[in-house]
Amino acid sequence: MVASKRLVVSFFLLVLLLAEANAKGLKVGFYSKTCPHAEGIVRKVVFAAMKKAPTLGAPLLRMFFHDCFVRGCDGSILLDSSNNQAEKNAVPNLSLRGFGIIDDSKAALEKVCPGIVSCSDILALIARDAMVALEGPTWEVETGRRDGRVSNINEVNLPSPFDNIAKLITDFRTKGLNEKDLVILSGGHTIGMGHCPLMTNRLYNFTGRGDSDPSLDSEYAANLRKKCKPTDTTTALEMDPGSFKTFDVSYFKLVAKRRGLFQSDAALLDNTKTRAYVFQQARGSTFFHDFGVSMVKMGRIGVLTGRAGEIRKMCRVPN
């Protein structure tokens, strides 16, 4: 037992050391000399798009998360496949939107600085700028990533809305993220929509006996049943009811009241550390700052730097 625990600890340390070694190639202002207006060019494209369609904020944020959790933050989520076998074709990614914003940003950058700015960096910048456009948090984005050449549908194994707290903590630790990062990044659910199939089991058949999830507030559950029937596969639900277009701490207030939409939201109350962070953020203390810190940490996962990877000419296809 002691030996197995030591192996687990050693594995997590190895993950952290590898992530740190690769991330040393990242820095704020990586393009300050080679493409000094890069961030401003991306920001202009994002702000214009968000002005027309502010609901793109949530899927753009999720796109960066989904990219980093599969093969690292290498832009592999952006690659197309002629036979629909790329990451973006996996079920959890079918609801992602906003790929055109990455294309437009890349096209604008190629006119000014051809072959300089990677698609993976563009995605990292867009995730930040989309939150700023929603009057949410801002942070300094480290850049210097290079783009991967592989995107495989079979490698998509993302944290799920159905996960319990043990699974969530393990998934985040394998990426070098801790319990606080788990809670803070879950706070991204303060914006955007979910769909009935991702949570109807909590309403109608939680343990296979036609019951509901006892961790779900009964009044909230009754309201959800009015919107989601057992066979509903299309209805969209606000993940942060009444505030789903605003980046704020109301998500944590709802989770603290047992009104998190997904099982993974409710699970944050099932661990001493994560529960404490939920209640801390519900008081409105440091969410914006902490979110930026966790986004920077996530942006270091499995990055390609130096001579690894490539700088794609177009974000949807490798060179």
Residues with a catalytic annotation lie at 66
Annotated binding residue at 248? yes
Percent helix, percent strand, percent coil in the chain, to nearest 5: 55, 5, 40
Q: Was 159 annotated as part of a binding site?
A: yes
Is 265 labelled a binding residue?
no
CB atoms within 10 A of CB 210: 9
- The answer to whether the annotation marks 74 as part of a ligand binding site is yes
The three-class DSSP label of residue 170 is helix
Q: CA 204, CA 13: separation in Å to the nearest integer? A: 41
Q: What dihedral do alpha carbons 213, 267, 18, 33 form, nearest 10°?
A: 100
Does 240 belong to an annotated binding site? yes
Q: Is residue 76 annotated as involved in ligand binding?
A: yes
Which tokens belong to 62? 């999720």
Alpha helices in 78-217 (DSSP H): 99-112, 119-133, 165-173, 179-186, 200-204
Q: Please tell me whether 189 is known to bind a ligand.
A: yes
Binding positions for substrate are 159
Binding positions for heme b are 189
Binding positions are 67, 70, 72, 74, 76, 87, 159, 189-190, 240, 248
Binding positions for Ca(2+) are 67, 70, 72, 74, 76, 87, 190, 240, 248
